[in-house]
Chains A and B, each alone.
Chain A
């Protein structure tokens, strides 16, 4: 690699002046003097003076160049080699500059396109992220509402559970009451049996009364048959008849009372039996219904728990989604920064390309 300063490069250029170029310069000076002389003869002194000054200036520059060339010639005996090397370097530099310029231009265009694409992507991503954020916010509010509802339903379910358990206890109490009622019914049945036994005994009393009556009537008949002698016996027999009749009436009254009591007891027992039967049926059906309800409540509670678990998982997922959105936002910001950097690189490259062009032109 050959590193040349501008000054060295210019002096190297000066050495490129050839002899015929010197001669051409001298000819150019003389021509200018001749024009000035001609213009003096033509009395155009202004233009003559201008051409004269130009010729003097050109000659002055020419002499300065000749002086420099003489100095260079004196100081660098191997100027031709340096000149060749400088030309080679110049050619190479030109090639490099051409290549660089082309590459830089291409790279700059590519970077511009990339930057534009990145900006577009960044814009789309920004819009998507906005939507995702909006959805996440909406989902969070929905999840909050569902959580509240689930909490309410859980509380209601707990209350329903407690109510169902209380209902079950009441059912058990009711069953116990029905059992007590059953015992009362059985007591009534035994009481009815006692009354029936009493009725049978009253019938026995009736038979005894009838027998007594017949006996007294027989005695009356005998006394009547005897005549006057049987008067006393007749009186006794009559009293006996009256007594048996009274006993019979009392027995009949007791029997009627017993029958009424028995009928009442039987009716009461039938009603209690029907009541027990109906109550037992109702209790059984209520029990089965209550059990079904309780089972359903338990199933519902389990489902609610599952829902709560699923919601919790969903909440965690939402949190993770938020984190992902944050990460994407950060990545997007980074991308934005990268895009800005790319822009800067693009500008630098453009500047470099211009400088390269300038160099190339130089």
Chain B
């Protein structure tokens, strides 16, 4: 029994490690980051936006997505508290997140990035744990990192980013859970 359960546990662990999922790699200020494609709805070109009053530094404005207003946040500002500078390759990644209050409802928000590179299929085994450097709350932004062509790509935690964008106080333990 134990043996079989162990075997099944090993099999599950092996299957979990071999599970393939895709990430979208993008650039912000020369650094590569990634989002799991499961949370990405689509990518749109950087278009004209409407600024809202009393916006935080990280809030970029509102863009029209096929007639629907979508809030756009400056990802670089979220990560470093500095505003990014737009270029001709800038684009907006539209994220579709589960609403914390209603599970059947989706939260749509956009993040402004410098450029998108590619979609990469990876296995869970390739994901390394994000390094703990100083404040744990900061490292909770990342769910892990992978190596692509000798470079490290940080996989961002989209939920933490969402909280951060909504100015919700961070609870490291809760976030970790």
CB distance from A176 to the nearest CB of B (A): 47
Check if A225 sits within 8 Å of B45, measured CB to CB. Answer: no
Q: Which of B37, B45, B88, B121 contacts A214 (CB 8 A)?
A: B45
Q: How far is the CB of B90 from chain A (nearest CB, A)?
A: 9
CB-based contact A221/B45 at 8 Å = no
Chain A: minimal CB distance from B72 (Å): 15
Interface residue A346 (Cβ < 8 Å from any Cβ of B): no
Known: A210-B45, A214-B116. A221 touches B91 (CB 8 A): no
Q: Is the CB of B22 within 8 A of A224?
A: yes
* Closest A residue by C-beta to B118: A241
Q: Which of B45, B116, B118, B119 contacts A211 (CB 8 A)?
A: B45
Q: Is B97 on the interface with A (CB-CB < 8 A)?
A: no
B51 on the A face (CB < 8 A): no
Find A224's partner among B44, B88, B89, B121 (CB 8 Å cutoff): B121
Please, how many angstroms separate the alpha-carbon atoms of A206 and B91 in the complex?
A: 14
Interface members, chain A 175-223 (any B CB < 8 Å): 203, 206-207, 210-211, 213-214, 217-218, 220-221
CB under 8 Å from chain A, chain B span 103-122: 116, 118-119, 121
Q: How far is the CA of A211 from the CA of B88 in the complex (A)?
A: 11
A217 contacts B118, C-beta separation under 8 Å: yes
Residues 69 to 112 of chain B near chain A (Cβ within 8 Å): 88-89, 91
| A218 vs B41: C-alpha distance when bound (angstroms) | 8
CB distance from A346 to the nearest CB of B (A): 135
**B43 within 8 Å of A by Cβ?**
yes
A206 partner residues in chain B, CB cutoff 8 A? 88
A220 touches B116 (CB 8 A): no
Please judge, given known A-B contacts A221-B43, A224-B121, whether A213 and B38 are in contact too, CB under 8 Å.
no
A217 to B117, CA, bound (A): 9
Given A206-B88, A224-B119, A241-B118, check contact A214 B44 (CB 8 Å). yes
Tell me what chain B mostly uses at the interface: helix, strand, loop, or mixed.
strand
Residues of B within 8 A of A225 (CB): 37-38
Residue in chain A with minimal CB distance to B116: A217
Shortest CB–CB separation between residue B111 and chain A, in angstroms? 14
For B119, list chain A residues within 8 Å (CB): 217, 220-221, 224, 237-238
User: Which A217-247 residues have a C-beta within 8 angstroms of B?
Assistant: 217-218, 220-221, 224-225, 237-238, 241
Q: Which A residues lie within 8 Å of B89 (CB)?
A: 210
Instruction: Please give, as numbers and ranges, the residues of chain A lying within 8 Å of B17 by CB-CB distance.
Output: none
* Per-residue contact bits, chain B 9-48, to A (CB 8 Å; 1 contact, 0 not): 0000000000001101000000000000110101111000
Once bound together, how far apart are the Cα atoms of A221 and B94, in whole Å?
12
Chain B neighbourhood of A241, CB < 8 A: 118
- Chain B residues with CB under 8 A of A220: 22, 118-119
Residues of the B chain whose Cβ atoms lie less than 8 Å from the Cβ of A207: 45, 88
CB distance from B38 to the nearest CB of A (A): 7
A214–B38 CB distance below 8 A = no
> Chain B residues near A211 (CB, 8 Å)?
45
Task: Please state if B118 and A214 are interface contacts (CB–CB under 8 Å).
Answer: no
Q: Smallest Cβ distance from A36 to chain B, in angstroms?
A: 190
B43 and A218 within 8 A (CB): yes
Tell me the smallest distance from the CB of B120 to a CB of chain A, in Å.
10
> Within the complex, what minimum Cβ distance (angstroms) separates B151 from chain A?
18
Contact sample, A vs B, 24 pairs, CB 8 Å cutoff: A206-B88, A207-B45, A207-B88, A210-B45, A213-B116, A214-B43, A214-B45, A217-B43, A217-B116, A217-B118, A217-B119, A220-B22, A220-B119, A221-B22, A221-B24, A221-B37, A221-B40, A221-B42, A221-B43, A221-B119, A224-B37, A224-B119, A237-B119, A241-B118
